Structure 1
Amino acid sequence: MKRIAHLRRTALIAALLATSAGAMAAEHYAPVTDARLKAAASDNGWLMYRRDYTSSGYAPFTQIDTANVAHLKQVWDYKTGFDQGHEAPPVVNGDFMFITTPKDELLAFQASTGKLLWKYQHDLSHVGLRTVCCDVVNRGVALYGDDVYMATLDNYVVALDGRTGKIAWKHQLAPADKGTAMTLAPLVVKGKVIVGLSGGEYGARGFIEALDAKTGKPVWKQYTIPAPNEPGGDTWPKGAYKTGGGGAWLTGTYDADTDTLLWGVGNPGPWLATLRPGDNLYTDSVIAMNPATGKIKWHYQYTPNDTWDYDGTNETVLTDIDYQGKQHKALVTASRNGWFYAIDRTDGKLIYAKKFATATSVSGFKDGKPETDPNLRPTIDKEVFTCPSFLGGKNWWPISVDPQTHLAYVPTMHTCMTIKGATVAYKAGLPFLGETFKVVADPAHKGQWGSVQAIDVNTGDQVWSYPSALPWNSGMLSTAGGLVFSGSADGHLVAFDARTGKVLWKSPEMTSGVIGVPSTWVVDGKQYVGVYAGWGGATPIWGGDMAKDPAVMNIPVGGHLYVFSL
């Protein structure tokens, strides 16, 4: 009896100490203000999806550099228990880390030690997830005030107290299982939580919506497919806008200098373009909006009348460039269609476009507008071979731009496809494609499904390339230490020399391939780098010959967060 009493007292003391430690940690949670978000590029944490409003994926930290990166060691790790694709970056405020898993679980850790502080599992028991494309992933969180925000597969935005995980509010934007979902990390701008809808493969009409960060009440909604009486509405056949696609499924960018929100828009529906003649605005475009109202200021369309699922959602990175002796306030993006674009971010005019992958469907440009090859447009009676495949020269995994080197680091796919038209009719909740397809190898890159390449943002020309026999499906992180980090499909976090592309370090083999996005942060003067291993996403589902490659088929799955430091 004395022993039992002693054990009970010991357990009680341990519980009280844990509660006290948790309370002390909560006291040290620094609110994320508008000023901190605006200055996120210089913060010791990693306060948003791509670190700062420019979407640079670049950190000014120098503790880990080209001279000592070979000494990186794993300092903590965490197994999630999920076998689907793990795509979120660690988001860090002070010593608090927040990261999401597949199926909308949100984890809070002590960033320096890996101590799990709290866990929230969004209830998806009522949802079939039948219309989620591609894989049941989540790409991370946004921070504001004391709260952390997550978008969910059943179209909720959930706000939770960053200290405790207690729900502050939640709001559903659209019904679940009707062809829409949300997989992106939200973006907070001036007290508004901004998200976009997925669903281009199901004929959903995409939109971007802003909610009040404190209450969750809707502030504005901007459809990505205009109605007939709106600008761009005449680029669609009668009635087609209602099922026009245009998912906005990746996180946008904010230009604080011009107070402009920039967001990428996905593919039109159905895929077969002969069923919807016209440019089909604003699909496959970047749109510039007023963040207070959502009103569109300008747009640039990467692929007019897209029939190859080339999307336009890839992140837009804000950077100043010097092109042919002229200074430009630019945005740069590596588009799914295989072209690397530099666009004037003040008015949407094209500065230049250069191929970064084999690209045949988008054949060139006239007066700043892309032109497509009519011979490479499929019909119900015609199959075509074209490059890149619908997976793109680059898919969702983000680039990084280093202001020191003036290089953009681009995770690249080397695939082509055969594609042919098919009959289709719209029915809510069913795929709305109208095409059959097969992903095949790019003949110009035999034995090479992927690569990492560096592109000079001042010229659009390639500076270096690192070939990969496996697909390269991880995001990029660059630092002032002269390094570029990214994860490989064979399960390593790799550190490249930012100027030359030389591999300076590989982590020990992790338990799964990497499609996650690495991030870096500093706590008490010590720099950390974290990344998810957890193979999944679109490649193993829709990868065709690539997915059937034995080396790709044998990539193990299973979510595992790794954190490294010197």
Structure 2
Amino acid sequence: MTRKTEIMRPIIGLALIASVLQAFAGPVSPERLLNAEADNANWLSHGRSYREQRYSPLDQINSANAEQLGLAWYFETDTHLGLETTPLVIDGVLYFTGAWSTAYAVDARTGALLWKYDPEVPREKSITACCGVVNRGLAAWEDKLYLGTVDGRLIAIDQESGKPVWSTRTTDPTKAYSITGAPRVAKGLVFIGNGGSEFGTRGYVSAYDANTGEMRWRWHTIPGNPAEGFENEAMEKAAATWNGEWWQYGGGGTVWDAIVYDPELDQLYLGVGNGAPHNRRIRSPGGGDNLYLSSVVALDPDTGDYLWHYQEVPADNWDYTASQQITLADITWQGEARKVIVHAPKAGFVYLIDRHDGTLLSAEPFTTVTWASHYDMSTGRPVEVEGQDYDGEPAMVYPSAIGGHNWQPMAYNPESKMLYIPELDMGMLFDEIKAPDYKHLKRHFNTGYKLSQDALPQPVTQGILKHFPKSHLLAWDVEKAEIAWKLPHPYIHNGGVLATGGNLVFQGTSDGRFLAVSADKGEILWSFDAQNSILPGPVTYTVDGEQYVAVGVGRGGALTMNTGKSYPTENPNNRIMAFKLQGSATLPPAPEPERPLPPPRTQASEAEIEEGRKLFDRFCARCHGATAVGDGSIPDMRYLAPIWHENFEAVVLNGLMEQAGMPRFDDVLNAKQVANIHAYVIERAHEDHALRQQTGWWAELKAKATDLTTRVMAWFIRLTTS
């Protein structure tokens, strides 16, 4: 060691310590949250402020210089299981969540890791998370962060150290609840909902003391068994809108995402989910609106007392949750100043709802809608289209159960009154199930309609997934209640949206591009190849006077896992990426995918392979993809290494990999059924290998013919169902 090195070592050490100390964020006081809209440097809560508009007035990056954007830094997680997080940025520190409810803190300037907290969720809980072991973010209050976990805990974390402060269980561990949404915090209370209606649960929201974790109140979204009494007057009134023994099926109504506090009116708004089963004739025979499913509900935040509700889809029959983002705005409506909720949920309409009392002001479709023709403004109710309730006959319905807009956040510019929606224009065939023992089925989504259709060749299935659904970044003029412009995307399931004062809208796409789009015209001004799908919403902030835009990158969640690689990205790595003007960082090359040769075919008959396909659709496809085409967030079954084929039964039936998150199925499958599933998977591997081996003009001709066929099929289906 040289003398110069000895002298420099303590100086470098002090500089590093100073850098780390600068990175620690200050407390997020109630005053900071109430004034978050004026704090341009930070992103203090899930939607930036209590209004959840996801708009920042920052304009250092703008439509005139967006083409100068470059990668500033990236941070790579140690999982491929999907990122849905909206980061918080507090005084130079960026906090985000990843798979298995893990929380991270990184330096917002450099991406350097400051701490990581793993709540050690039991991996066997993956089976009760409908849509992947994802997490959408944290809440901040004073010197703590709050995290909901897949196994139903609410945890307070010390903001500076990443150490847990308190933990409370907020769901029954014996039931199929999960938490993937971000908590919200106001008035010293942490509000948290849950998911699980797909497996037959009863929804509710709870409020906990931010300092101690003590539960202050709980409000159920639907009534329980009348014989056990009702928790409050709201539940008693709601019970009159249900029929049969709905509580035997769970009923649904989980609040898995939208919870918004309105400090101006001191109200808490909930976005209530779908019914369980989805099919209303099973859960509530004899009809009824089934309150408070698919509703926006206002509560007193201090007590949880019911204030008002507006039900967007009475007697929901299509999984049309109202759980999507709730945005608060002040607009001029028909010449009068109104405080409104702007809501664009699954059902395909943009709803304007008066925040004082829940009065519907407007409901206009932003995407293809066939289930309802319009809303009767004298009653506030939708006018359903005959035949779209699939009662006795299958029906092609728009939007699909995935919705016209799902969890990916939208953004609202309060200056221009423009709403930017990641739209999904996609229909679905609903075909009723009437099995009398339906409620006793295990490991099955609680739908009441078929989830498996007749088999089609792989290229046709994947072609339909590519060309049948349409998607856009859509600009909606809120005060005119009409579309201003639409930017088409080539594939479905694109990312959330950020709007800024620089006349920009930022959005990621499923094919791995991160886009800066002009907010007034919808023109792409800049694009970056992120090597993987981008699903969550971006955030923006400043450090040392320099503006950054950060976003989570990585596949995962319901639609991408189920539809597989219907878009051309191969890199499964999950990252947080941050961009700035003149950023010069680069990504490493994407890894080459491993595609081992398929094993020998089994002796299974065509009938046994077909049974394997149906069982795969029922139990496996929601994670491993339709027709066994995976999205890369978990293993693609067509490319299993030999060791997994040798141990297929041990993994699927006996839980060999349960501690890694692969559930066991010995409670619903037997060895013969698992063998048939394995035979189907092997068959799919051979089909894929044969397709990839084809070369020359014949392969090109077949590919073009398949592509043309699927485009024609998609066009015909859309034409006959619109």
TM-score range, shorter chain: over 0.9
Rate the CA distance shift 1:303–1:145 in 2: closer, same or farther, 3 A.
Answer: same
> Within 5 Å, which residues of 2 pair with 1:147-546?
147-176=144-173, 178-227=175-224, 228=226, 229=230, 230-241=236-247, 243-275=250-282, 276=284, 277-366=287-376, 367-379=379-391, 381-422=392-433, 423=435, 424-426=438-440, 431-437=445-451, 449-507=470-528, 509-543=529-563
What letter corresponds to residue 416 of structure 1 in structure 2?
G
Q: Normalising to structure 2: TM-score of the pair?
A: 0.73
Query: Which stretch has the larger CA shift, 147-156 or 77-86?
Result: 77-86
The residue number in structure 1 matching 2:59 is 62
User: Deviation string for 1:451-472 (max 9, x for gaps)?
Assistant: 0010001021000000112114
Kept in 1, the 8 Å contact 2:511–2:569? The answer is no
Q: Secondary structure at the match of 2:450?
A: strand
Report the Cα offset of residue 473 of structure 1: 2.4
Please give the secondary structure, in 1, of the residue aligned with 2:219.
strand
1:563 corresponds to 2:589 = no
Work out the CA distance in 2 between the residues paired with 1:389 and 1:244: 20
Kept in 2, the 8 Å contact 1:451–1:472? The answer is: no
AA in 1 matched with 2:264: D
Pair 562,10 (structure 1): closer, same or farther in 2 beyond 3 Å: farther
Match of 2:88 in 1: 91
AA aligned to 1:36 is: R
In structure 2, distance between residues paired with 1:22 and 1:154: 36
- Aligned partners of 1:335, 1:306: CA distance in 2, in Å? 13
Deviation at 1:303, TM superposition (A): 0.8
- For the 8 Å contact 2:238–2:291, the answer to whether it is kept is yes
Secondary structure of the equivalent of 1:298? strand
Alpha-carbon offset, residue 373 of structure 1:
2.6
| 2:36 alignment partner in structure 1 | 40
* SS of residue paired to 1:513: coil
The residue type paired with residue 432 of structure 1 is N
CA contact 1:203–1:428 (8 Å) conserved in 2: no
**1:419 Cα offset (Å):** 0.9
Q: Which residue of 2 aligns with 1:140?
A: 137
Deviation at 1:402, TM superposition (A): 0.2
- Call closer, same or farther: CA 1:472–1:212 in 2, change over 3 Å: same
- 1:54-91 Cα shifts (integer Å, max 9, x gaps): 11000111111111111111111011121122110221
Can you list the C-alpha shifts for 1:382-438, whole angstroms capped at 9, x where unaligned? 211111110111111111100121100000011101011112114687532221147
| Structure-2 change in CA distance of 1:481 and 1:126 (3 Å) | closer
Work out the CA distance in 1 between the residues paired with 2:11 and 2:197.
51
Deviates more, 1:482-491 or 1:370-379: 370-379
2:59 counterpart letter in structure 1: T
Q: For residues 460 and 282 of structure 1, what CA distance do their matches in structure 2 show?
A: 26
Asked if 2 retains the 8 angstrom alpha-carbon contact of 1:398 and 1:475, the reply is: yes
Output the CA distance in 2 between the equivalents of 1:458 and 1:45.
Answer: 29
Name 1:78's counterpart in structure 2: 75
Q: Which has the higher contact order (CA 8 A, sep 6+)?
A: 1
**Contact (CA 8 Å) 1:75, 1:565: kept in 2 or not?**
yes
Secondary structure at 2:179's aligned position in 1?
coil
Counterpart of 2:507 in structure 1: which amino acid? S
Match of 1:52 in 2: 49
- SS class of match (2:67): helix
Aligned partners of 2:270 and 2:297 also within 8 Å = yes
| Paired position in structure 1 for 2:658 | none
Q: By how many angstroms is 1:125 displaced? A: 3.2
Return the alpha-carbon distance in structure 1 between the equivalents of residues 381 and 217 of structure 2.
30
- Contact residue 150 and residue 185 of structure 1 kept, 8 A: yes
Residue 557 of structure 1 and its aligned partner are, at CA, apart by 2.6
Would you say the 8 A contact 1:135–1:537 is kept in 2? yes
3-state DSSP class of the match of 1:235?
coil
Tell me how far apart the structure 2 counterparts of residues 396 and 157 of structure 1 sit (CA, whole Å): 21
Counterpart AA for 2:212? T
Say whether the 8 Å CA contact 2:512–2:569 is kept in structure 1. no
CA distance in 2, matches of 1:497, 1:23: 37
**In structure 2, the residue corresponding to 1:232 is in which secondary structure?**
helix
Whether the 8 Å contact between 2:138 and 2:145 is mirrored in structure 1 is yes
Residue type of the alignment partner of 1:149: Y
Asked whether the 8 Å contact 1:415–1:442 carries over to 2, the reply is no
1:431 aligned partner, one-letter code: F
CA apart distance, 1:236: 1.3
Which piece of structure 1 moves more, 426-435 or 324-333? 426-435
Measure, in 2, the Cα distance between the counterparts of 1:18 and 1:390: 54
SS, match of residue 81 in structure 1: coil
Rounded Cα–Cα distance in structure 1 between residues aligned with 2:491 and 2:299: 38
Give the CA deviation at 1:110: 1.1
CA contact (8 A) 1:105 1:122 kept: yes
3-state DSSP class of the match of 2:75? strand
Write the mapping of 1:16-31 to structure 2, written as runs, cut at 5 A.
Answer: 17=14, 20-21=17-18, 24-25=21-22, 29-31=25-27
Structure 2 distance, partners of 1:176, 1:477, is: 36
Change (3 A) 1:410 1:351: same
* Residues 437/126 of structure 1: CA separation in 2 closer, same or farther (3 Å cut): closer
CA distance in 2, matches of 1:400, 1:17: 42
Structure with bigger strand share is 1
The CA distance in 1 between the partners of 2:128 and 2:145, in whole Å, is 26
Q: Which amino acid in 2 is paired with 1:114?
A: G
Counterpart residue identity of residue 83, structure 2: H
**In 1, Cα distance between equivalents of 2:20 and 2:220:** 43
Residue type of the alignment partner of 1:560: R
Which amino acid is 2:476 matched to?
I
Give the superposition deviation at 1:448.
Answer: 5.6
- 118-127 or 200-209: which moved more? 118-127
- Cα displacement (A) at 1:255: 1.2
2:328 maps to a residue whose letter is L
Question: Matched residues in 2 for 1:377 and 1:238: separation?
Answer: 19
Q: Deviations over 1:507-539 (max 9, x none)?
A: 2x1121111210001112111100111012111
- Give the 4+ runs in structure 1 shifted more than 3 A: 9-23, 125-128, 426-431, 437-443, 445-448, 553-556
> Deviation of residue 17 (structure 1)?
4.9
Which stretch shifts more, 10-19 or 326-335? Answer: 10-19
Contact between 1:155 and 1:180, CA under 8 Å: does it hold in 2?
yes
Secondary structure, aligned partner of 2:561? helix
CA distance in 2, matches of 1:164, 1:10: 31
- Counterpart secondary structure, 1:87: coil
* 1:23-45, Cα deviation, whole Å (9 max, x unpaired): 7247x531101111111112120
The one-character-per-residue Cα deviations of 1:147-182 (angstroms, maximum 9, x if unpaired) are 111100001111111111111111111134621100
Kindly tell me: are residues 32 and 357 of structure 1, through their superposed partners in 2, closer, same or farther at Cα, counting changes over 3 Å? same
Deviation at 1:364, TM superposition (A): 2.1
| Structure with greater Cα Rg | 2
